[in-house]
Amino acid sequence: MNAATAPNLAEAERRASTLALIGFDVDGTLTDGRIYIGPAGEAMKAFSVRDGFGLTLLRRAGIRVAIVTGRESNIVALRAAELGFDAVIQGAHDKAATMRELGERFGVPPAHCGFVGDDWPDLAAMSQAGFGATVAGAPAEIRARAHWVSTLPPGAGAVRELAEFVLRAKGQWDELLVSYGAPPAPGSGTT
C-alpha cells in the first residue's frame, strides 16, 4: 500500500526491497481497463508512456518484468516488445502457476517475486508473491489483500508510481535519477 493508506508501510517497503521479478496483468493495470472492439476485433488499448518509463527504470535497476494476462492481444505483444519485457505470457488462466514457472525460469524464489493485478483473477498470483500490488480503484477485496496500492489510476501513472516505490525501497532511486543527468541530492553521498 502507499504511504498515505498503508497500515504497514515498513513491511511493504521490506518486501519491495527484495524484488527481482515483477509480473503485471494488463487490462486494468497497465491500461485503464477499457477494451475498444471494432467489427474486425480488438482495435485499441491505451498505455501510459509514464508507466512505460517506470518499467524501463525497473529493468535498468536489474528487475525482470513480465506480462501475465488471461487475454491474448497483438497490441499487448507490440507494446511488450517495444518496452523489452523479459517475458510475455498471454492466455494465462492460472496466473499463480505462470508466475511460479517464471520464477523457476529466472531463478527467482516466490519471496522475491511481485505481482501487480486489479481483480479477482489476480488474487492467487498476488497472494503467493512476496509483494502483491494493485491499483487505485481496484475492488475492495483486492486492495485489502495487497501490500501496496497506487494512488494513481491504472493506465495513468500507477505503474510509474509503483516503480518509484520499489526503487526507493531498494535504495536505487537516486542513483537512477543521477544517471539521467540530475545532480545528486544534497547529503546523498552520490558524486
Note the pLDDT tens digit of each residue in 104-156. 999 999 999 999 999 999 999 999 999 999 999 999 999 999 999 999 999 99
129-136 contacts: CB < 8 A, separation 24 or more?
Answer: 129/23, 129/99, 130/15, 130/18, 130/19, 131/12, 131/15, 131/16, 131/18, 131/19, 131/22, 131/166, 133/162, 134/29, 135/28, 135/29
125: Cα separation from own chain's centroid:
13
Q: Which residues contact 38 (CB under 8 A, 6 or more apart)?
A: none
Give the C-alpha separation, 113 to 95, whole Å. 13
Span 59-67, average pLDDT: 97
Give the C-alpha separation, 160 to 52, whole Å. 7
Residue 2 has pLDDT above 90, yes or no: no
Residue 1 has pLDDT above 50, yes or no: no
What is the pLDDT, as a whole number, of residue 61? 96
Superfamily of domain 9-148: HAD superfamily/HAD-like (3.40.50.1000)
Residue 68 has pLDDT above 70, yes or no: yes
pTM beyond cutoff 0.75: yes
